[in-house]
A and B are shown apart, each in its own frame.
Chain A
Amino acid sequence: MLSAGLAVMALILLFAFAGPIFVDTNMAEPLSATPRQAPSAEHPFGTDDSGRDLLAVMVVGVPLTLRIGFIAGAVGLGVGIFLGFLSGYVGGKVDAVIRGTVDTLLTVPGLVVLISIASTIREEISVNLMAMVVASLAWMWPTRTIRSQVLTLRERAYVHMAKLNGMNTMEIIWKELFPNLLPYLAANLAGAVSWAVLAAIGLEALGLGPQNEPTVGMTIYWSITFSALIRGMWWWWALPIVFLALLFVSLIMIAAGLDELANPKQRKAV
Chain B
Amino acid sequence: MSTAPALLEIKGLEVQFETRRGLARAVNQIDLTLYAGERFGLVGESGSGKTTAMLGLLRLIEEPGRIAGGEVLLDGVDLLKLSEEEMRQVRLARIAMVPQGAMNSLNPVVRIGDQMRLTILEHEPELGVDEANQRIEELLQMVGLKTSVARLYPHELSGGMKQRTCIAIAISLGPQLILADEPTSALDVIVQRQIMQTLRSLQERMNATVLLVGHDMGLMAQFVERIGIMYGGKLVEVGSVEDIFSNPRHPYTQLLISSIPSFQTRGKFGGIPGVGLSLLNPPDGCLFNPRCPSAMDACRSRVPPLIEVGSGHSAACLLYEEEGTHASTA
Contacts and interface: CB of A to CB of B under 8 A. Distances in A.
Interface string B53-82: 000001010000000000000000000000
B92 A263 contact: no
Interface of A: 156-158, 160-168, 171, 175-176, 179-180, 182, 262-265
A264 B92 contact: no
B190 interface: no
Nearest to A265: B155
19 contacts: A156-B104, A157-B101, A157-B105, A158-B107, A158-B108, A160-B60, A161-B97, A162-B119, A163-B91, A164-B97, A165-B91, A166-B88, A166-B93, A167-B118, A167-B119, A176-B110, A263-B109, A264-B108, A264-B155
Contacts of A163: 60, 91
Contacts of A160: 60, 99, 105
Contacts of A156: 104
Contacts of B202: none
Nearest to A157: B104
Contacts of B108: 158, 180, 264-265
Contact of B109 (A157, A165, A262): A262
A158 B60 CA distance: 14
B119 A264 contact: no
A262 B110 CA distance: 10
A164 B155 CA distance: 22
B169 interface: yes
Contacts, number: 72
A135 to B, nearest CB: 29
Chain B CB within 10 Å, residue with most, of A157, A166, A175, A264: A166
Contact of B91 (A157, A164, A171, A262): A164
Nearest to A167: B122
A166 B124 CA distance: 12
A41 B295 CA distance: 104
Nearest to B123: A166
A230 B60 CA distance: 71
A142 B107 CA distance: 24
Contacts of A263: 109
A180 B110 CA distance: 9
Given A167-B122, A179-B109, 20 more contacts: A156-B104, A157-B101, A157-B103, A158-B105, A158-B106, A161-B97, A163-B60, A164-B58, A165-B96, A165-B119, A165-B169, A166-B88, A166-B92, A168-B122, A171-B122, A182-B109, A264-B108, A264-B109, A264-B153, A265-B155
Nearest to B170: A165
A156 B108 CA distance: 10
A58 to B, nearest CB: 40
Contacts of B58: 164
B90 interface: yes
Contacts of A157: 99, 101, 103-105
A168 B88 contact: yes
